A = this chain, B = another copy of it.
């Protein structure tokens, strides 16, 4: 099988990370995966949602949106429609949940960090790229916060990366672009920690069900890809003097 952009099945696209594209946010990153571009800011606020008040715990939440012309044809703004689509809600719930899995909310204390993931241009993999990039923005914000708060326990417990996998012509492939995504019979998003544990596994075979062996093949590709993404995170954060965790992380 030849992929439409000449990649090998197990080959991810070219990823790039630009730190601090926003001068106001506590943490920010522009992450690019091929032609997919997501601008992410992390905002720290000294308050928590009502359901957490007075418990000494913090909160991590995410919002996700696409600019109207991030895609081939223009989409109506959700602000003009007056409500979020189910797809948007699903994605931002996923991003927030994934990030919380590597944050010790008690260690964070009564503050909220909001990750705004705005897709400037979309070419497949926007939700997984948002997670991988949002982790970097979060790490920058927590690092900055640590400068003043001096955390007893460091709130971030591990790295976190995410990638999409799928099956095209019976062949598992990784990091699908938009055109590939449209013809894949299975679509799966995987989130893993730097330590190699699963945080989210979401596979959908709407076009055609998939076998256990296809599932195993996709998980294998996802694992290898996320190892590369975590290495990229370490390098990018390293240039900003940020290092997560202790031995083995």
Tell me the A residues contacting B by CB distance below 8 Å: 21-25, 28, 35, 39, 41, 43, 45, 63, 65, 67-74, 77-90, 92-93, 97, 100-101, 114, 116, 118, 120-121, 188, 192-193, 195, 197-212, 215, 219
User: Taking CB as reference atom, which chain B residue is nearest A98?
Assistant: B206
A45 CB, nearest partner CB in chain B, Å: 7
Q: How far is the CB of A24 from chain B (nearest CB, A)?
A: 5
A121 cross-chain contacts in B, Cβ below 8 A: 22-24
By DSSP majority rule, is chain A's interface helix, strand, loop, or mixed?
mixed
Q: Which residue of B lies closest to A72 (CB)?
A: B24
Query: Which chain B residue shows the least CB distance to A96?
Result: B206
- Interchain Cβ contacts under 8 Å between A and B, 19 examples: A22-B70, A25-B69, A39-B120, A43-B68, A65-B79, A77-B79, A78-B79, A79-B81, A80-B84, A86-B90, A86-B93, A101-B206, A195-B209, A197-B209, A198-B215, A200-B203, A200-B205, A202-B202, A202-B203
Q: Is the beta-carbon distance between A77 and B89 smaller than 8 angstroms?
A: no
Q: Which residue of B lies closest to A211 (CB)?
A: B197
Give chain B residues whose Cβ lies under 8 Å from the Cβ of A202: 201-203
